[in-house]
Structure 1
Amino acid sequence: MKIPSIAIKLVVLAAVVAAVVTGGMVLTSFDRTQGGEIAVVRNGGPFDNNRIRQIIEPASSRTYTGLFSQSHKYPAQQRFYTITSDAKRGDRTGVDVENDPTADGVEIGIEGTIYFTLNTDSAALKAFDDKYGTRKYQGLDGQYRAAWDGDEGWNSFLDAIVRPVISNDLRQQIGDFRCAELQASCALVQSGAQQAANPSAAAAVFTGAAGRQNNVNIQKIQQAINTSLEDDLTSTLGGKFVTNVRFNLAKITLPVKVQNAIDDAQAEFAGVSKSQAKVAQAKAEAAANEQRQNGYLKCPACATIDTLKAIPPTVTTFAPGAGFAITPGK
């Protein structure tokens, strides 16, 4: 019995398709990591469970991961999270400043950077993937992504889970200080009546001692956050998933209205200082003139000599009185 050529072609085509599919499955059963990333591999496929099967270390060679497995790749090196008013530098899109009230109720802006490292210990990493790698987080663009879904997914995870812990720590620490203890210029708008009555007292807030004390207080905030933040993250995340946490407080800013009031006050103080300088100069000139006049009374000839010295070079004849004139010789 002769097999029709069309049947042979169909068999050959099916064999080719099967070979391509099998080859594709085999090729996708291997994976590797780049330097600075580590992978948690989970089983997959219609007949397998979804448990973790292995960890692929950073900068690995091509490794067999099994059919239909999925690799969750996380950063294995130090990472940082920046809070800043510079829209080009922050980890969030646009301007991102942490606003918290001081002890005296002034809401100030805080800019800084948190440095940390994901714990790559095998047991900790598996627990982290179980807790946070099996769900998605909404980014600022409204899209939902997994924590292992590239930089955007990782940042979405940080915004949703880590940022609230950072905000809580900053709010607690900032609330222990008055505004003037962090920004000396706050005193300009907090005691306006006293400053108007005594401008020299207002200028005192800008002394070197005040500036140094502000720096000391900022250092205290940094140290307190460095002490508490890692423990708070461990408690909130349910495990020691991040290590080597360090916070660097880069800048403290004031609300626009407060800053504008300070700028206006500084301009007024500058005007007062200028007027005081003019008064002091006038007093000094009056005292000098008085002393000069006393000298002329004792030495009339000295007055004449000074008068002659004061004649402008454009004057050719000087006639101070009738019958008296001086004309320079040619």
Structure 2
Amino acid sequence: MFVFRPRFGSNRAGEGDDTAQVAQYMPAMSLVLHKAARLSVAPMMDWTDRHCRYLHRLLSKHTLLYTEMVTAPALVRGQARHLLRFDPAEQPVALQLGGSDPIELAEAAAMGAEEGYPEINLNCGCPSDRVQSGSFGAVLMEDAALVALCCRAMIAAQPAEVTVKCRIGVDDQDPSEVLPEFLSQIVAAGVNRVTIHARKAWLQGLSPKENRDIPPLDYDLVFEMKQLFPNLHISINGGVASLDQARELLDAGMDGVMIGRAAYHNPTDILQRADDVIYGGGAGPDPVDVVLAMRPYIEAHLADDSRGGGKLAHVTKHMLGLFAGRPGARQWRRLLSEQAHKPGAGWSVVEDALAAMEQAAA
């Protein structure tokens, strides 16, 4: 029997009445998630790791963040629970799982909930060959019944909210037929929130990179799904390149918008303004202040060799776009790119990069 003990990242909560912990933690987080899901940063392999998410949280208090996809087999069979590690400051943060076995996904979801993730998201959208070979990702669009079975198992196994990220269809499927049936099945399984990448995935003949651009976007179909499923919280994903575009999609009737590469490569323009433009609060901190606020985190990471960490570049590679489009940004990127990977590189490299940027901008 699964016993829920929210760990809020790497720190296990104190022992006590687990039922009371669930009652106090999950309903409150559900309300936070509902608000946060108006804007989210897409899960992106090799990009949205815990260092990236910590940085993004400094820029925006409210935006919903997602982990990279973690496969259920890695957690259940590979004993790779360390992949679930996150800092409590990242909340609200959701765990994305990959898999197609209901039993494994249920166990992996339970692990995620125990670690403190208030949302567990099932990946039904990734088109890569490696993911397909494991029957993960977009290939699951071909078997809505299996996805529904997986969702039921995940929901039954633990108290966190279970969501799905999907495509509008794959290969020769007709999205106008496939997507409504897919959504019907997962809604019947208990899913109340979904993110739809408004682009078909071609699993044969196109690379994952090509799948980001070549199949045409169909925002109209996603809006039609909102009409068909008015009680389903739908976030739209794909091709969103600015916060203003996200605002327009929300104003047009979407419940949420998920932004991927634009939020990563230009985090200040997207996330620093998000709390004001999307959530009605004040704007986030200046990027220079964000860099300075990263110092304790970076120094703690440099001192932590317990998990093979301790390299400055692990963190600073996510900071390269902080000053995109601003005077001196090129010097900032160049110095960090050249120096942060070197043995012994520490906080002084970041200070030097800031000074070089400010000098170039003067």
Same fold (TM over 0.5): no
Bigger Rg, which one? 1
Q: Higher relative CO (CA 8 A, sep ≥ 6), structure 1 or 2?
A: 2
Between structures 1 and 2, the one with greater strand share: 1
With the length of structure 1 as denominator, give the TM-score of the two structures. 0.21
- TM-score normalised according to structure 2 size: 0.20
